[in-house]
Homo-oligomer: A and B are copies of this chain.
Amino acid sequence: MGLTKTALFTKQQNEIAAMAKALAHPARIAIIQYLIKQNACICGDLVEQLGLAQATISQHLKELKAVGIIQGTIEGASVCYCIDPKTWKRYQQVFAGFLKDVDFKDSSCC
């Protein structure tokens, strides 16, 4: 069917998966890293930097905006993008919480 059965899982599980999905493409990782390095930039900079078509970059930016990890502010004809500090902290917390230390038994399997 190709449709994830969201209802079978907890809210938390769906949230972690959705957050991971936003990071599940190298172009989006590259965008985030570039935004951190430059503090902020416009869409055109990313098109040059990454070597993907403008429409493609715009689509990736849309996805990152949808999960709230970046925000864009209109700056004349261009749009200035940057990391949203609040969502960034949430990402840190959620992933640190999920990837917590586990007390693995000796050679854990059976």
Contacts and interface: CB of A to CB of B under 8 A. Distances in A.
A97 to B, nearest CB: 11
A80 B25 contact: no
Given A4-B26, A21-B20, A92-B99, A81 B52 contact: no
Please state the number of chain copies in the assembly.
2
Interface residues of A, number: 51
A110 B26 contact: no
A37 to B, nearest CB: 10
A23 B16 contact: yes
Contacts of A46: none
Interface string A88-110: 10011001101101101100111
Contacts of A17: 23-26, 28-29
Given A21-B20, A88-B99, A104-B83, A73 B109 contact: yes
A14 interface: yes
Contacts of A80: 109-110
Nearest to A6: B26
